[in-house]
Chains A and B, each alone.
Chain A
Amino acid sequence: DAMVIQNPRYQVTQFGKPVTLSCSQTLNHNVMYWYQQKSSQAPKLLFHYYDKDFNNEADTPDNFQSRRPNTSFCFLDIRSPGLGDAAMYLCATSRDTGLYTDTQYFGPGTRLTVL
């Protein structure tokens, strides 16, 4: 009964080789988030979609891009992965009506290794 699904769970790529991580949700939530988490650190927000509106964090490198073709799916594209991009990437969703307070629901994450 998965709600936020991330594929693949483990991804290995080579230095400089583009990679795409995917996230899908069955919750029909209007907000989707991508976080990067390195070992023993806080999950760091890269960007989020509020419906179709894309919101980039100021310190997210240009190397990271995202697409949300519909409500259910969101993709994280890393155009030229560097060794420093090796991390766990977490996708999350939430419902935000402006009035209703909701929490985030996380996927299991994709662990990216860069060789």
Chain B
Amino acid sequence: DQQVKQNSPSLSVQEGRISILNCDYTNSMFDYFLWYKKYPAEGPTFLISISSIKDKNEDGRFTVFLNKSAKHLSLHIVPSQPGDSAVYFCAARDRDNYGQNFVFGPGTRLSVLP
């Protein structure tokens, strides 16, 4: 049972346009959400995050939006660049007695076309 879902396995966008990657979750106890970017042959690298008490966080070309009532978050990349082509993972943090645990979605492969 996937707690974090990314329903689009892939997305293609023209350079300069907006890329929108979506993520849905089922666990209302998640308190922190992250996006990671992964290039081939490398581990995921942190991109941007948002706390559950916020609905928007912006960092340069990257903005994450959180809709708690819909259990949905999205990552916007504007403008998209060819170097943004990668797999993007959505992750959510679940705190329990053992500390923090991160649950990942299956990823969306973004291709930015020149």
Are A108 and B42 in contact, with the CB atoms below 8 A?
A: yes
In the complex, which residue of chain A has the Cβ closest to the Cβ of B38? A106
Which of A6, A40, A96, A103 has the most CB atoms of chain B within a 10 A radius of its CB? Answer: A103
Minimum Cβ distance to chain B for residue A95 (Å): 10
Q: In the complex, how many residues of chain A place their beta carbon closer than 8 angstroms to a beta carbon of chain B?
A: 28
Which of A53, A92, A104 has the most CB atoms of chain B within a 10 A radius of its CB? Answer: A104
Prevailing SS type, chain A contact patch: strand
On chain B, the residues within 8 Å of A33 by CB distance are 102
Are B99 and A42 in contact, with the CB atoms below 8 A?
A: no
Whether A45 sits at the interface, judged by CB under 8 Å, is yes
Whether A107 sits at the interface, judged by CB under 8 Å, is yes
In the complex, which residue of chain A has the Cβ closest to the Cβ of B9? A40
In the complex, which residue of chain B has the Cβ closest to the Cβ of A54? B98
The 4 closest A-B pairs by CB, nearest first: A106-B43, A50-B99, A42-B104, A103-B46
Residue numbers of A with Cβ under 8 A of B are 4, 6, 31, 33, 35, 40-45, 48, 50, 53, 55, 90, 92, 94, 96, 98, 101, 103-109
